[in-house]
Structure 1
Amino acid sequence: MPKYSDSLALPSVVVDDVHKTFKLRHTHSVKETFLAAVKRKQLTTDFNALDGISFTIEEGEAVALMGFNGSGKSTMLKLISGVIVPDRGSVMTRGRIAGLIEVGAGFHPDLSGRENIYLNAAILGMSKKEIDERYDEIVAFSEIEQFIDTEVKHYSSGMFLRLAFSVAIHTEVDVLLIDEILSVGDEPFQEKCLARIRELHDAGKTLVVVSHDLDMVSRLCSRGIVLRGGNVAFDGASAEAVALMRA
């Protein structure tokens, strides 16, 4: 993915005329595919997830990507993270980016929590020195200290997500991408996660958030971009964006 030079006072994210199309399959097995082909039925259709999206996010902004299911917001977040690339147009970013998109994707079930902290943090771009310095804080935040040397495959889903979120949220980043992950854990843990995210924003980090929790979005973000049918339907104050979503 193209990246700006960190020495320039430029935006954190620039999305320029981005298009992304996916193939939707209509069959689920070799047999179904064969029968559909014999009957000359259409095997796939194109779905235009994003159809010419453009916007700029300045350094230190907290921006919510909103929209109903299928509007393209999660696809846009993955494009910003570099997980996928656009078919046309460009996505340019500046600084180190960490995505709370598929939390724990880099965890290995046969390794302990301690070993997975080092593995996942390294995947997220942290050096061993950075991990060493933040290790105790990561473990304390996760609230699973007594299980930290247990293999992750023995964790409950809640324990796994707490540790994975804690690693991601303590990564040294310039831009933090968040996709519906704040549904993790019980309410006190969610509030602690929100408080940590606010601390990062107060420290000047750029936030890009996708969530169906409109109340949380309006508290966390000052700007909202509403996507509809793969296009930008609104870009402005988050309170107005939330009102549009609720209309």
Structure 2
Amino acid sequence: MNLFNRSILPLFAVFAFFGVFWAGCADIPNDPEAAQPVESISIMVKQKDAPFSTILKVHPYDSATITATVAPEKYQDDISFEWIYTNDNKDSLLVRAKQYSFLPSKLATNIPNKLIAADKEGNKQTYEFTIVINTPPVLSDSTIPASGDTLYGSPESAFLFEWYSIDVDIDNGDSLFHILEIDDKAYDVGTLLQVKQSGFNAGEHKFRVIVRDLYGDSDTLAYKNFHVIDTLGAK
């Protein structure tokens, strides 16, 4: 059963094989003896109890599992897989199996970046991919104002809001983006770590900060409360 053609296909998060299709009109029935094609092969990864995802991103400190899924599912057992680490055009076979587990914090040579899929007739297709190893950003609990602070001013007073975020991936080209929420109103402040904001009436207020990196990993501070006393109105 020839499941693959020999054309070169573009790389996507879902890597597709296209087999032999019968020409003609859609209303002409297929030959019952004709081999049906494998429509797609998906490369997916997961960590812990999360579901498998075609977003090939993992955190460095938990074991990850990569898998290949065939559609239609009935062809799953007809396809064999080789997970390979390749560097400088040199291939190292990691395992022959549908799935492969690895620890991202270990040597890069243990992390696959190539899949070779083959049918029972020996037809093969090769796909190269990259698994992104990303550490989520972290927000410090230290902020200005701190939770419980009292601020003195008027609605025209510009109060300082300051926070601190860290990400060990920054040196590898990652970037952090922040959202400041004040009294349930969100302000996209980008890469800033401090802003000044006015317009606060006397009374209780709250704020929090959310940080996200380029890969969508995030951290969120718990709400912090602060009290504003209107010194102008008190005169």
Higher RCO (Cα < 8 Å, 6 or more apart): 1
TM-score range, shorter chain: under 0.3
TM-score (norm 2): 0.21
Q: Is the radius of gyration larger for structure 1 or structure 2?
A: 2
The structure with more strand, counted as a fraction of residues: 2
The structure with more helix, counted as a fraction of residues: 1
